[in-house]
Amino acid sequence: MKFRIIYVVAAVALLAGCKDRNRDQQQMYGNNMAQQAAPAAPETETPQPIVQEYVFDGQRVFFDFDQYAITDDARQNLTTQAAYMQANPNIRILIEGHTDERGSYEYNMALGQRRADAAKRVLVSLGVDASRIKTKSLGKTRPLVAESHEEAWAQNRNATTVVVQQ
């Protein structure tokens, strides 16, 4: 009897963890993962003050191989983000710097940080208060596309803007 209770408790805990992991993966990988995942039951939790969600159409800016220079397309996306932030002064963001899978862990972490910092510098130059922006490198640890070819690598070389507080 005692073992049955332990098995039931373990199964419930395992299923609860899967639900959280599924929601986390949907946030990390966007709509591609959401389409592949089974529909989740409606959430009944009260929203937390830190929401970490993607809200920008141009939430990602992309980079050339081994580069952190902001391109014209990236500058256009960042200009849209700056306008959104100026219209919503309570929003704080996190810019995550990403790389493709090539190169060492250490090199990619440094490159991801340079990409995030470059995006932040542009937002600050467009009038966004620097105290509203945090940066973080994720290097090659969370690829947007989990494949190994040039098209996937191009998508994985990005800086992603995430709203962390409203």
Residue 31 lies in a domain: yes
Residue 125 pLDDT level (bands cut at 50, 70, 90) = very high
Q: Tokens at residue 63, please?
A: 């980079």
Same domain, 12 and 89: no
Residue 58 pLDDT level (bands cut at 50, 70, 90) = confident
Residue 54 lies in a domain: no
Q: How many domains is the chain built from?
A: 2
Same domain, 22 and 81: no
Sequence-distant (6+) residues with CB within 8 A of 133 are 92, 93, 94, 95, 120, 123, 124
Mean pLDDT of the chain: 77
Same domain, 73 and 155: yes
The H-assigned helical ranges of the chain are 2-29, 31-36, 72-87, 105-125, 150-156
Same domain, 84 and 14: no
- 133 or 24: whose pLDDT is higher? 133
- The residue segments making up the domain with residue 32 are 2-36
Residue 158 lies in a domain: yes
CA–CA separation, 37 and 146 (whole Å): 16
- Residue 79: CB atoms within 10 A of its CB come to 14
Same domain, 78 and 123: yes
